[in-house]
C-alpha cells in the first residue's frame, strides 16, 4: 500500500464519501465521523439531506443527538450533488440491491452510482461496494463502468467489496462492533480498504477476492433463510399434530452443542434474507448449477403469509364469521421488532391479502406512524397507525400479531380482543391466557 494513502488515513487527512444514507450508510457516516474523519454523505432524496443538515434522524434507532454531534464537530455534510464525489478519497456504495418482479437481481442503483462516480473518477480514489449482491458483481458490473473512464484499477484507482453486516435495532452488535470482511479487485485495493475499515471496527477479515467477499455475505444470510424455512415447515407440521413449535424450540435450545435456535414467523422481511438466496440461485444458473435446497427454502418462506391467512380464516370461521367484512387489526408492520424498517415486511403482504379478501384492515405500530410509498405495495401508502386502546381492540373481529414490538402490552391486547392470531408467540411470552389465541 502506498505509504502516503496509509499515512493520510492515520492522520485523518482523507475525505470519505458515503453513497446512500439509509440503514447501512448512515451508521457508517457516524462511525467514521466519530473517529475524526471528514465525511460527505450522498443521497438522491433531498428530504433526507435536509433533515440531516437540521440535525434530525429519520431512522428510529439512530438518535438525532448523534446527528447533531457530528454536525457540531463540522465533520459531516449531506448532499444530493453527485458531482462532488470527486472530493472524496474513498467512496463507500450503500445503495439498494432489490429483486425485479421476476425475482432476478436489480442492479440499477449500483450501475447508476458507478456511472456517477465515473464522471468524476480521479487517480488514487478508493471505491468500495457494500451493497449485498451475487459473486462477481464488483468485478463484472462495477469495475467495467469505472474503467471505461480510461483509468485502470489497481494502478490509477482501487476497487474493493466489503459487505454490510447491519442488524437494525440490535443494541448488542452495532456497526463498529462487528468484524468487516474485505476483498479487493487487486491486492492493493484489498490492503487499502482493510486499512480504512480498521479505523472503525475491532477486526478486519481479508479474503482473497471481491467475489469471495460477496459469497461470504450470501452464505451468512442463506444460512439464516434456510434455517428459518426449516422451523417454519416444522411449525406447520407440529400444528397439525397439536404440538407448540415455540415450546419445542425453547426446549431444544437447552442442548449446549449441535443446535442453534431459529424461530418461525409470518414470512421473511428486511433488506437481505428475503432477497439474497435468489441472487445466488440466479447466478448459479450461469454455471449450470441447480440450487434446489435454497430454492425450496425460498418457496417455504414466501408461502408463510398464505399459511397465516388460512389460520386466520379458520379461526374466524370457527366463530361464525368470514374474513370478508371482518375488522382485522394488524399488530406491527415493521419487518422485525423495535425498528421502523418496512423493507420486504411480510406484514404488508398480509395486509394486502386481507384487503383482497374483503377484510377491513387497520394497523398499529409504535415505530411506523404511517406507511410510506413502497415499490411492491403502493396501495398501502398513506395508511396510518391507529391508537391501541380498549375501544380499538374491542371493535375488531381479530387481531393479527405480525411483529412483536417489545413495548406493546400483549396481555392487554388479549384481554380486550375477541380473537388473537399470533405469529410471534408474543401472547404466550407475555403470560396472557391463551383461550382466545390461535398461534400461526
Q: Write out the catalytic residue numbers.
A: 272
- Order of strands across the sheet with 327-331? 360-364, 327-331, 398-401, 420-422, 437-439
Strands 126-129 and 90-93 come out as: parallel
Sign of the dihedral defined by the CA atoms of residues 295, 297, 302, 306, in that order: positive
Phi first, then psi: give them for residue 158, nearest 5 degrees: -140, 140
- Is the distance from CB of 440 to CB of 423 less than 8 angstroms? yes
Question: CA–CA separation, 309 vs 301, rounded Å?
Answer: 14
- Is the distance from CB of 187 to CB of 195 less than 8 angstroms? no
Q: Smallest Cα–Cα separation from 20: which of 72, 91, 83? A: 91
**Bridge partners of 433?**
none
DSSP string, 19-38: E--STTHHHHHHHHHHTT-E
Q: Which helix (H) or strand (E) holds 145?
A: helix 143-147
- Dihedral class, residue 338 (left if φ above 0, else alpha if ψ from -120 to 50, else beta): left
Characterize 70-92 residue by residue with b for buried, 16 or more Cβ atoms within 10 angstroms of its Cβ, and e for exposed. bbeeebbbbbeebeebebbbbbb
Question: CA–CA separation, 5 vs 123, rounded Å?
Answer: 12
Q: Smallest Cα–Cα separation from 400: which of 318, 338, 307? A: 307
Question: CA–CA separation, 228 vs 190, rounded Å?
Answer: 33
- Is the distance from CB of 294 to CB of 226 less than 8 angstroms? yes
- Dihedral class, residue 398 (left if φ above 0, else alpha if ψ from -120 to 50, else beta): beta
Amino acid at each position: 500500500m502506498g505509504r502516503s494513502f496509509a499515512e493520510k488515513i492515520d492522520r485523518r487527512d482523507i475525505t470519505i464519501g458515503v453513497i446512500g444514507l439509509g440503514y447501512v450508510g448512515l451508521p457508517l457516516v457516524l462511525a467514521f465521523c466519530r473517529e475524526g474523519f471528514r465525511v460527505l454523505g450522498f443521497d438522491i432524496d433531498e428530504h433526507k439531506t435536509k433533515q440531516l443538515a437540521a440535525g434530525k434522524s429519520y431512522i428510529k434507532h439512530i438518535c438525532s443527538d448523534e446527528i447533531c454531534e457530528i454536525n457540531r464537530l463540522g465533520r459531516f455534510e449531506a448532499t444530493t450533488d453527485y458531482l462532488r464525489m470527486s472530493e472524496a478519497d474513498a467512496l463507500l456504495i450503500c445503495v439498494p440491491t432489490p429483486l425485479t418482479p421476476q425475482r432476478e437481481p436489480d442492479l440499477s442503483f449500483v450501475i447508476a452510482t458507478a456511472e456517477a462516480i465515473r464522471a468524476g473518477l480521479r487517480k488514487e480514489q478508493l471505491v468500495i461496494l457494500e451493497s449485498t449482491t451475487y459473486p462477481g458483481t464488483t468485478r463484472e458490473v462495477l469495475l467495467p463502468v469505472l474503467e471505461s473512464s480510461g483509468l485502470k484499477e489497481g494502478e490509477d484507482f482501487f476497487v474493493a467489496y466489503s459487505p454490510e453486516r447491519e442488524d437494525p435495532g440490535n443494541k448488542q452488535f452495532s456497526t463498529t462492533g462487528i468484524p468487516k470482511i474485505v476483498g479487493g479487485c487487486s491486492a492493493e485495493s484489498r490492503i487499502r480498504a482493510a486499512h480504512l475499515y480498521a479505523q472503525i471496527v475491532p477486526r478486519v477479515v481479508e479474503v482473497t477476492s471481491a467475489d469471495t467477499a460477496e459469497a461470504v455475505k450470501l452464505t451468512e444470510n442463506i444460512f439464516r433463510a434456510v434455517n428459518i424455512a426449516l422451523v417454519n415447515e416444522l411449525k406447520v407440521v407440529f400444528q397439525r399434530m397439536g404440538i407448540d413449535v415455540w415450546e419445542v424450540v425453547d426446549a431444544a435450545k437447552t442442548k449446549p452443542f449441535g443446535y442453534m435456535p431459529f424461530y418461525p414467523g409470518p414470512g421473511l422481511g428486511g433488506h437481505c434474507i428475503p432477497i439474497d438466496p435468489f441472487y445466488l440461485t440466479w447466478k448459479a444458473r450461469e454455471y449450470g448449477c441447480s440450487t434446489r435446497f435454497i430454492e425450496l427454502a425460498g418457496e417455504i418462506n414466501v408461502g408463510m403469509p398464505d399459511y397465516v391467512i388460512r389460520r386466520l380464516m379458520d379461526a374466524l370461521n370457527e366463530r361464525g364469521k368470514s374474513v370478508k367484512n371482518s375488522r382485522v387489526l394488524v399488530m406491527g408492520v415493521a419487518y422485525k421488532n423495535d425498528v421502523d424498517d418496512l423493507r420486504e415486511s411480510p406484514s404488508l403482504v398480509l395486509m394486502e391479502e386481507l384487503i383482497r379478501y374483503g377484510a377491513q384492515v387497520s394497523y398499529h405500530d409504535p415505530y411506523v406512524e404511517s406507511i410510506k410509498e413502497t415499490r411492491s405495495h403502493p396501495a398501502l401508502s398513506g395508511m396510518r397507525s391507529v391508537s391501541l386502546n380498549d375501544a380499538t381492540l374491542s371493535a375488531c373481529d381479530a387481531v393479527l400479531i405480525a411483529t412483536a414490538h417489545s413495548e406493546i402490552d400483549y396481555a392487554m391486547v388479549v384481554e380486550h380482543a375477541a380473537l388473537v392470531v399470533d405469529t410471534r408467540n408474543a401472547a404466550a411470552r407475555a403470560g396472557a391466557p391463551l383461550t382466545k389465541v390461535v398461534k400461526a
